[in-house]
Amino acid sequence: MTWAPERRTPLQVLRALDSGPRGLLDSEADARLARDGENVLPTRRPPSWPLRLVRSLRDPFTAVLASLAVVSALVAAWGTAAVIAVLVAVSCALRAAGEYRADRSAAGLRELVATTATVLRRAGPDEDPVPREVPVDQVVVGDVVRLGPGDLVPADLRLLRATGLTMHQAALTGESAPVRKHPVDEPYPVRGGRAAEPHPLRRQPVDGPYAVRVRQADESSPAREHEPAAPPPPPPPPGTGFDRPELCFQGSSVASGSGTGVVVATGADTRFAAAHGGRGGRGGAGDGGRGRGKGRSKGAVLGGDRRTTAFDRSVYGISWILIRFMLLTPPLVLMVNAALRGRGLETLPFAVAVAVGLTPEMLPVIVTTALARGAATLARTHEVIVKRLPALHDLGAVDVVCVDKTGTLTQDRPVLDCALDATGAEDPDVLRWAAANSLWTLQLAELPAADALDEALLDAAELRLPGGLDALEHDPVAALPFDPVRRLSTAVVRTPDRLGSHTLIVKGAVEEVLERCALGAGERSRIGALAAARAEDGLRVLAVARAERPARTRAYTTADERGLTFVGLVGLRDATAETAAAALTALARSGVEVKVLTGDHPGTAARACRELGLAPGQVVTADRADALGDADLAELAARSTVFARCTPEHKARIVRVLRERDHVVGFLGDGVNDLPALRASDVGICPRDAVDVARESADVVLAAKDLTSLDHAIAAGRRAGGTIARYLRITLSSNFGNVIAMLTAGLLLPFLPMLPAQVLVQNLCFDGAQLAYAYDRQDAARRPLRLRPREVLRFVVGFGLLNAAADLATFAVLAWTVGGHTQAGFHAGWFTENLLTQALVMLLLHPGRPRGPVSWAATALAGAGLLLPLTGVGAVLGMGGLPGVYYGLVGVVLVLYAGALAWGGRLHRGFAPTPPLP
């Protein structure tokens, strides 16, 4: 769609789009949807099958294998090339199939947490517009959309009205600080009074006493924008357009304030789609595989912090170490053979086979399957939705969970407890001013949903004030809605019975309000202490103040929140959540530390923690954190439990410094003030009823804001992580052992220790057996499960050398029984021993007693090792018969090996059987 917003007033834009301030008719919206299609980004469509297969080829292991195949083909080692090609094909097909299944189920799960947009639509030309929640993909050009804190912008919008609106545009510009948005050009014309919408949560009659009065003529419509920066911003330079204040772009979200805009572009026509070359969508669930290489980061849609998660560090970390080994192996083998045996390029196929032997081909399949199965089970049993599969692994690794207080530890159903004047005496006037602030900020800012605190104040006013809500009647002028950095909200009304005067009603966090009141230092600290005492009783305390100013047409800004007269304090009681105490105990028992990061008063936060049995210790206030450098803050954060008066940026900073201290940090929060922290954490978690943008940024969505389900999710993560860790350790140690043995044998023997076809069959047998790990159901580890590359490598080298020792002992046996010079016998003997040792490893290096799939797979593997060389297949593969004495002697080797394995397993702490979660 082409349009020239620069030269048009909002009204002209509406006209050009054949829409109006009252929104579209339902029938018009349907027709436009049919004409323009759904509002979805092009790449949100699932990839086709051929594309999936091609994508799985992009995997680094596959790429290395493929290049090894090419090298083999170049030296006409057709057997080896064919073997590798088959391995690649099998792994790609399995991977693509696994990812297809995972994507489908993840898409289904994501659907459950899809966001909606609030649009104004009318049933008929004469009907009043009704704000309606519609799925984002149903939004059409010309729709009038309302935005409130935490909303995602569903399409590109031109603003018609805005109150204190700021936007996160990180996805588009990379800029993390919110940017101010406001309508420009001529103010939006009001024809005979703007149709006042009752607040959706407070449905008063439109023409009742609480309908917003339209400004009187004498006010000659001041700009509808009330913002700190008083001078109008200079016109933005032409270019990307993202800095245009009157435009809100798909992919951004509301940081504070509210606004109404008309949709000017949807789907593929949005700037977001254009900026990403039409590739704006999130990665599929198939991201569960490795394959995007190092440093893949999350949060593609919302951008912001690009960061490496625990999954990246562990699985990718190990993968990259292995790839380096794989690339080093062939040249090394060639050089050693040339130096020690004077062999030339004829050893290349063998060198390639050794590198192939190192590869854990099934890793992507195991990772995807384990994560997808874990996620599906979690969704079914606990209604927890994992939106990004690797996040499930990271949940298992989480050792610190930061949570917000309101709504997580408490119910977020505040009820008014007291309204006190400056002396601490009950005073209904305080409630009247506080509730008037709530009502008029809500009404003027047209917020799509009311804050729980405002809702509670209005409920209390309705019940307790003589005349109920009628007592709050005022002529409204302007509103500066709440934002979590300023911690204040202000309503401006005409002063009752005084012509030419406006009253500012300010309410907010006690410290912030007191700072703006004209009070002596003594008085201020006395009131501060009064508030602190109520907070320590567990109340959420807000201060209320007001000021009278001469009426004016100039916009009000936060700079006007000065020199106020203190009115009083309101205290609201918010009971602790029922399941929180038990869940905190369970988290502690499973080795997860809980830290509370709240915007609330330190006293309120400490009291809530104490009630839940979480020792708050010394509460750290955010201004103390400000005074510290990252290292000192990290130190302080590690030993503190409660952080109060946090702004969104404080929460994120604490999460960041904890991660830098090598913690894997989960963050659970539900509000706009939690957004930066959700993005900064390894795993962002939110409840299903969180604001849209939190749900969009979170990796894991809980059915309810219930810490108990978080505990289950962590257990599921540990199970999936355990499966991946087991596969990696066992496969890599066997592979490593085999490679050492092959290298040694290659030097000792005059023939290849293993033919390409034998490498293939052996690998396929291993791979088939190892798939069992994906279906292995073990108890979750009792501690956070971290897969550290260093530790894995130690394990691999230790057990790999043990495995190589068994192989070398077998060579000795073979040399003695069949004579090292009988190729067919040697190949058969080694094949049998290899599969038997692998089966032993699967059985003995398993935490606890292997059950079901793993023990069956190990048995089948042992059977194949013993029987295959004796069959026709064995003969075709070039394996010959073995004398009975070989079996006897190799039996002895295996018993010794089993003993060593059991001993080594016990030594290795990570493999001590893990008792189930209490």
Ligand X SMILES: Nc1ncnc2c1ncn2[C@@H]1O[C@H](COP(=O)(O)OP(=O)(O)OP(=O)(O)O)[C@@H](O)[C@H]1O
Interface positions with ligand X (CB under 6 A): 404-406, 451, 453-454, 482, 484, 487, 489, 507-509, 542, 598-600, 671, 673
DSSP state of 4: -
- For residues 539 and 802, which CB has a smaller minimum distance to Mg ion in the complex? 539
> What does the block give as tokens for 182?
């406001």
Give min distance, CB of 401 to Mg ion, in A: 15
Give min distance, CB of 598 to ligand X, in A: 3
- For residues 118 and 598, which CB has a smaller minimum distance to ligand X in the complex? 598
- For residues 365 and 690, which CB has a smaller minimum distance to ligand X in the complex? 690
Give min distance, CB of 541 to Mg ion, in A: 16
Alpha helices in 113-231 (DSSP H): 170-173
The number of residues that bind Mg ion (CB under 5 A) is 3
Q: Would you say 816 and 883 are in contact if contact means Cβ atoms under 8 Å apart? A: no
586 binds, among Mg ion, ligand X, none (CB under 5 to 8 A by kind): none
Give min distance, CB of 505 to ligand X, in A: 11
- Say which of 59, 404, 682, 711 is annotated catalytic: 404
- What's the rounded Cα separation, in Å, for the pair 471 and 95? 66
Give min distance, CB of 427 to ligand X, in A: 19
Beta-bridge mates of residue 528: none
Give min distance, CB of 472 to ligand X, in A: 15
608 binds, among Mg ion, ligand X, none (CB under 5 to 8 A by kind): none
Q: Would you say 49 and 96 are in contact if contact means Cβ atoms under 8 Å apart? A: yes
Of 828, 865, 837, the C-alpha closest to 740 is 837
From 109-117, 125-133, 541-549, 669-677, span contacting Mg ion (CB under 5 A)? 669-677
245 binds, among ligand X, Mg ion, none (CB under 5 to 8 A by kind): none
The answer to the question of residue 671 lying near Mg ion (CB under 5 A) is yes
Rg (CA), the chain: 33
600 binds, among ligand X, Mg ion, none (CB under 5 to 8 A by kind): ligand X
- For residues 286 and 484, which CB has a smaller minimum distance to ligand X in the complex? 484
Active site residue 394: no
The answer to the question of residue 807 lying near Mg ion (CB under 5 A) is no
Q: Which of residues 400-419 bind Mg ion (CB under 5 A)?
A: 404, 406
- What's the rounded Cα separation, in Å, for the pair 530 and 510? 10
CA distances from 513 to 99, 167, 440, 572 (A): 54, 25, 18, 17
- What's the rounded Cα separation, in Å, for the pair 324 and 326? 5
- For residues 64 and 642, which CB has a smaller minimum distance to ligand X in the complex? 642
489 binds, among ligand X, Mg ion, none (CB under 5 to 8 A by kind): ligand X
- For residues 484 and 737, which CB has a smaller minimum distance to Mg ion in the complex? 484
Of 645, 611, 368, the C-alpha closest to 528 is 645
- For residues 259 and 508, which CB has a smaller minimum distance to ligand X in the complex? 508
227 binds, among Mg ion, ligand X, none (CB under 5 to 8 A by kind): none
Give min distance, CB of 694 to Mg ion, in A: 9
Beta-bridge mates of residue 201: none
Q: Would you say 134 and 32 are in contact if contact means Cβ atoms under 8 Å apart? A: no
- For residues 680 and 796, which CB has a smaller minimum distance to ligand X in the complex? 680
509 binds, among ligand X, Mg ion, none (CB under 5 to 8 A by kind): ligand X
- What's the rounded Cα separation, in Å, for the pair 238 and 244? 9
> What values do phi and psi take at 637, rounded to 5?
-65, -35
Q: Would you say 744 and 337 are in contact if contact means Cβ atoms under 8 Å apart? A: no
- Per-residue mark of binding to Mg ion, 629-668 (x: CB under 5 A): ----------------------------------------
Give min distance, CB of 485 to ligand X, in A: 8
The answer to the question of residue 604 lying near Mg ion (CB under 5 A) is no
62 binds, among Mg ion, ligand X, none (CB under 5 to 8 A by kind): none
Q: What 3-state DSSP class applies to 129?
A: coil
> What does the block give as tokens for 539?
């109340």
> What values do phi and psi take at 728, rounded to 5?
-60, -45
Of 612, 611, 628, the C-alpha closest to 620 is 628
> What does the block give as tokens for 448?
């799509």
Of 243, 209, 180, the C-alpha closest to 558 is 180
Q: How many CB atoms lie within 10 A of CB 821?
A: 11
Q: Which residues bind Mg ion (CB under 5 A)?
A: 404, 406, 671
Q: Which residues does the annotation mark as catalytic? A: 404
